Amino acid sequence: MTAGKQNETPQVAQTSPAQAFHRGGELPTVCLIVPPSAFLLDERVFMSLGLLKVAAVVEQAGYPVEVLDLSGVENYLDALDAQLESSSATHYGLTSTTPQMPAATAILQRIRETRPEAKTILGGPHPTLVYAARRREVKLDKPGRGTKSFEHLSNLADIIVCGDGEEAIFVALSPDAPAVIDADDPKGEYFLTQQQLEELPLPARHLVEVDSYNYEIDGYRATSLIAQLGCPFACGFCGGRESAMLRRPRLRASDGVIRELEHLYTQYGFRGFMFYDDELNVNPQIVELMREIAALQKRHNTDFRLRGFVKSELFTEEQAEAMYAAGFRWILVGFESGSPRILTNINKKATREDNSRCLAIAHKHGLKVKALMSVGHPGETKETIRETRDWLLENKPDDFDVTIITTYPGTPYFDRAEPAPFVDNVWVYTYAKTGDKLYAEELDYTTTADYYKGDPNGGYRSFVFTDDLSQDDLVHLRDKTEREVRDQLDIPFNPSAVKVFFEHSMGASGPLPPSILRKSSTGTRPRSTTTGSRTPSPVE
Query: In this predicted model, what pLDDT tens digit does every residue of 306-357 receive, in sequence order?
Result: 999 999 999 999 999 999 999 999 999 999 999 999 999 999 999 999 999 9
Rg (the chain; Cα; Å): 23
pLDDT band of 364, cuts 50, 70, 90 = very high
Strands 119-123 and 159-163, sheet pairing: parallel
Q: Structure pTM?
A: 0.87
pLDDT band of 38, cuts 50, 70, 90 = confident
pLDDT at 503: 54
pLDDT at 455: 55
Collapsing DSSP states into helix, strand and coil, what is residue 173? coil
Tell me how far apart the alpha carbons of residues 20 and 61 are, in angstroms, rounded to a whole number: 12
Q: What is the pLDDT of residues 98-118, one digit of tens each?
A: 889 999 999 999 999 999 999
pLDDT at 458: 57
Q: Provide φ and ψ at 506, rounded to 5°.
A: -65, -30
pLDDT at 230: 85
Q: What is the DSSP letter of 224?
A: E
Between 22 and 49, name the one with better pLDDT. 49
- Within 8 A by CB and 6+ apart from 470, the residues are none
Tell me how far apart the alpha carbons of residues 95 and 78 are, in angstroms, rounded to a whole number: 19
pLDDT at 239: 76
Instruction: Give yes or no for residue 119 having a pLDDT over 50.
Output: yes
Q: Which amino acid type is present at position 82?
A: A
Tell me how far apart the alpha carbons of residues 307 and 169 are, in angstroms, rounded to a whole number: 31
Q: What is the pLDDT of residues 132-182, one digit of tens each?
A: 999 999 999 998 888 999 999 999 999 999 999 999 999 999 999 999 999
Instruction: Give yes or no for residue 18 having a pLDDT over 90.
Output: no
Element (H, E) at 147: helix 145-154
Q: What is the pLDDT of residues 453-495, one digit of tens each?
A: 555 555 678 999 999 999 999 999 999 999 999 999 999 987 6
From residue 290, give the alpha-carbon distance in Å to each of 216, 220, 241, 331, 358: 20, 18, 29, 14, 18
Spell 200-214 as b/e; 16+ CB within 10 A means b. Answer: bbbbbbbbbbeebbe
Name the percent of the chain lying above pLDDT 90. 70
Tell me how far apart the alpha carbons of residues 284 and 387 are, in angstroms, rounded to a whole number: 33
Instruction: Give yes or no for residue 14 having a pLDDT over 60.
Output: no
pLDDT at 449: 65
Instruction: Give yes or no for residue 15 having a pLDDT over 50.
Output: no
Collapsing DSSP states into helix, strand and coil, what is residue 387? helix
Alpha helices in 351-403 (DSSP H): 352-364, 382-395
pLDDT at 530: 37
Tell me how far apart the alpha carbons of residues 270 and 263 are, in angstroms, rounded to a whole number: 9
pLDDT band of 234, cuts 50, 70, 90 = confident
